[in-house]
Chain A
Amino acid sequence: MTVKVRFFARFRELLGTDILAEPGTGTAISTLVKDIAQHKKEGYDAIFDDNGAFREFVIVMRNGKRVEIPDAGKTVVADGDEIAVFPPVAGG
């Protein structure tokens, strides 16, 4: 199965965007994003905390619908899904 992961803002600078992944059946969103982010420590650390959970301000969306952070570890991706991961941008 193919899933597209899109990073925005600073996450995009660190990890790129529009990444096509081929996760195995039963892969949770957090596992998928972790696997992708792992190749760049700075990118990983920007998104995940020391316990490997999404940082509380990170916004995760699956096909345009918000996935609450506590649910990202148990929400399984499906073929054709698009996962968006972005931080609130703060500057003015």
Chain B
Amino acid sequence: MFSDRELERYKRQILLFGEEGQERLKAAHIFIAGAGGLGSPIAIYLAVAGVGTITVVDMDTVDQSNLNRQILHTDRDVGKKKTVSALEKLQAYNPDITVNAIDATIGAENVGRLVGRADGIVDAMDNYPIRYLLNRVALEKKIPFFHGAIRGFYGQATTIIPGETPCLECIFPKAPPKEVFPVVGVTPGVIGTVQATEVVKYLTKSGKLLSGRLFTWDGLCATAEEITIVQNPACPACCTGATKEMR
């Protein structure tokens, strides 16, 4: 059931997917790994869309150099924990949802517990080792994993549905070397919004997901393309039953 305020707030999107779709959003729990460049637009758009429970995990403190892209945080948040800043903003955007902001470092020992009973995991990380952990926990829990990554003006996204699509390790079996990546805020804006769109579509059962397809965005050329991706029959993550260990 929705309050009058909620019905008014969501009026324009109830036109799209009905109260039934809105109820699906309200009943959902989405886990966002990271409150940085990608995590900011993802969290904001899922909050205003009315995803009932949002868990966001980050271990960092807001730094001045984050502010060109991490739009959850403002100049006066510098020095605050990102989770504190994220909680304030998301509750201000939408007081009718529950936000769990957890100050933690995601690792093999806690990832399963942190994700808990979430209905989906959104990738807003900046490195592959943690992405691989999230991919595996999503496979284990049989929940979707909404991947996104960016560099410079370029970004990519795909939606991984366990048992149906290739997983992240099928697509990218080896992590690239670590680097301080260049980025302008509009790029995580584009890719994070694509990821949030996928979450809304998945939860409301709308449209056609980015499954089995890697969406690529080249902001310099203003071109979006897709690359067909297939499961790797030798994938150690999704094809050998190696996902049973992370509880």
Contact = CB atoms under 8 A, between A and B. Distances in A.
B232 A90 contact: no
Given A8-B216, A56-B174, A57-B174, A88 B149 contact: yes
A10 B154 contact: yes
Contact of A90 (B34, B39, B128, B188): B128
B227 to A, nearest CB: 6
Contacts of B181: 90-91
Interface in B110-168: 123-128, 148-152, 154-156
A66 B152 contact: no
A50 interface: no
A12 B218 contact: yes
Nearest to B229: A66
A64 B228 contact: yes
Nearest to B220: A13
B176 interface: yes
B227 A57 contact: no
Contacts of A86: 216, 227
B149 A13 contact: no
Given A64-B227, A64-B228, A89 B151 contact: yes
Given A8-B216, A10-B154, A92 B172 contact: no
User: Binding site of A, secondary structure by majority: helix, strand, loop or mixed?
Assistant: mixed
Contacts of A90: 126-128, 149, 151, 175-176, 178-179, 181
B50 interface: no
Interface residues of B, number: 37
A7 to B, nearest CB: 11
A65 B230 contact: yes
B38 interface: yes
A60 to B, nearest CB: 12
| Nearest 5 pairs of A and B residues by beta carbon | A91-B181, A92-B126, A88-B172, A57-B174, A89-B149
25 contacts: A9-B151, A9-B156, A13-B152, A13-B220, A57-B177, A59-B172, A66-B232, A86-B227, A87-B176, A88-B149, A88-B174, A88-B175, A89-B149, A89-B155, A90-B127, A90-B151, A90-B179, A90-B181, A91-B181, A92-B37, A92-B39, A92-B125, A92-B148, A92-B149, A92-B150
A57 B220 CA distance: 24
Interface string B53-66: 00000000000000
